[in-house]
Amino acid sequence: MTALRKYTRLESSGLWRETPEARLRDVVVGLREATLVLSDPKTETALSQWSLPAVERLNPGKMPALYVVGDADSETLEIDDPDMALALETVRKALERRRPKPGRLRNWVVGGLGITCAALAIFWLPGKILDYTAAMLPEATRADLGEDALEDLTKLTGSACTSKHGTAALAALGKRLDPAAPPQIVVVKDVLTQPIHLPGHIIVLPDALITSAAGPDVVGGYVLAEAQRAAASDPTRSVLRHAGLIATLQLLTQGTIDPNALDGFGQTLLSVPQTTLDQDALLGQFDALGMSSTAFAYALDPSGETTLTLIEADPKRNGSTPAVLTKSEWAALQSLCKG
């Protein structure tokens, strides 16, 4: 170390007391690389040797400088040479910097763990709580969340369209597509431009999609496609993400959620782009339900280029069997929002 090399072999006079009862004795103080050697000035015999890291000054800033070794007070040393006093202070500081500091490492470790825990709490834990809550909610609670989300959405789209025969046609369509657990199909007249899905097996369709469809197979295809998206990405999690961590914890622990927590969720839904469909999986659903996929394929892409799989592998080229809706039900569905 530079400080040690600079002062190596520096010497000065000093007064040494071997014990508190002993008389002061003239000594030659020799600064070495790691020690302070006290010698008899006449015989040059070493009288004592101090370890530099253990040297402590009792009167900083005062002269003559008074030193002891560690906590022991049996030996003292007085030095009136300012150069030697400065050298001792410089070397002591240099050695102190070289000394291992376990506490510093511990502080770094503890600090690092603290930062890691904070990062986990901020970024990782909330997501895990959302996932856990979404997975644990019973169907009845999911349905309630879906209704709350639908209520916020209809602030923008207007109320869901209803009529005696049209509502019955929607129920018939849902049962035709999933006899065991029919989806709740809702139709709105304004703002909405594409189908969306909500918790509780709720599928929301724009009226324009129905009135422009070539037949009920097309509408059925849109419902199946949206149900596929819902299965791939649980809509409950989207609702909880919007509601926030506090509302999610309330729902998890109390079974209820602040209705205001979903304010603005409908606007968020309208801006979410649709995900790509797995056409092979969708074909399997058309096949299982005895439905034709061609009309739906052309509704998605009039050129048929991007939906060629749905066209070429149509499981019911001659039409759905049984029909997705009766003629009267289809007519009632197309006029649902006209009343």
Q: Tens digits of per-residue pLDDT, 63-93?
A: 899 988 876 567 888 999 888 888 888 877 7
pLDDT digits (tens, 9 = 90+) for 308-336: 999 999 999 999 999 999 999 999 999 99
| SS3 assignment, position 56 | strand
Statement to judge: residues 192 and 289 lie in one domain? yes
The answer, yes or no, to whether residue 3 has pLDDT greater than 90, is no
Q: What whole-number distance in Å separates Cα of residue 205 and Cα of residue 169?
A: 14
d(CA 295, CA 212): 12
Q: Is the pLDDT of residue 209 over 90?
A: yes
Residue 216 belongs to some domain of the structure: yes
User: What average pLDDT score do residues 155-170 get?
Assistant: 93
- Do 185 and 243 sit in the same domain of this protein? yes
- Enter the DSSP assignment of 32: -
- pLDDT at position 120 is 35
pLDDT of residue 327: 96
> Do 40 and 158 fall into the same domain?
no
300 shares a domain with 183: yes
Task: Please give the pLDDT value at position 55.
Answer: 85
Cβ neighbours of residue 40 closer than 8 Å, sequence gap 6 or more: 27, 28, 47
Whether residue 219 is found in the same domain as residue 245: yes
- For residue 242, the SS3 value is helix
Same domain, yes or no: 107 and 221: no
Residue 81 and residue 219 in one domain: no
Distance, CA of 278 to CA of 286 (rounded, Å): 13
Mean pLDDT of the chain: 85
Separation of alpha carbons 29 and 49, rounded Å: 10
Residues 112 and 146 in one domain: no
* Predicted local distance difference test score (pLDDT) of residue 285: 95
Among 45, 77, 98, identify where a domain stops: 98
Q: Is residue 76 in some structural domain?
A: yes
β-strands 184-188, 202-206: how paired?
parallel
> Which contacts (CB < 8 Å, 24+ apart) does range 14-18 have?
14/38, 14/77, 14/78, 14/79, 14/80, 14/81, 14/84, 15/64, 15/77, 15/78, 16/47, 16/48, 16/75, 16/76, 16/77, 16/78, 17/75, 17/76, 17/77, 18/47, 18/48, 18/74, 18/75
pLDDT of 210 strictly over 80: yes
Whether residue 339 lies inside any domain: the answer is no
Angular region, 244: left φ>0, alpha ψ -120 to 50, beta rest: left
Q: How many domains does the chain have?
A: 3
pLDDT given for residue 114 in this prediction: 42
Give the model confidence (pLDDT) of 215-258 as tens digits: 999 999 999 999 999 998 889 888 888 888 888 888 878 878 88
Tell whether 318 is covered by a domain.
yes
CB 137 within 8 A of CB 236: yes
Residues 144 and 271 occupy one common structural domain: yes
Same domain, 320 and 309: yes
Domain that holds residue 31: 2-98
> What pLDDT is recorded for position 103?
52
Q: Compute the average pLDDT of residues 53-69.
A: 87
Q: Is 150 found in the same domain as 88?
A: no
Q: Which residue has the higher pLDDT, 182 or 99?
A: 182
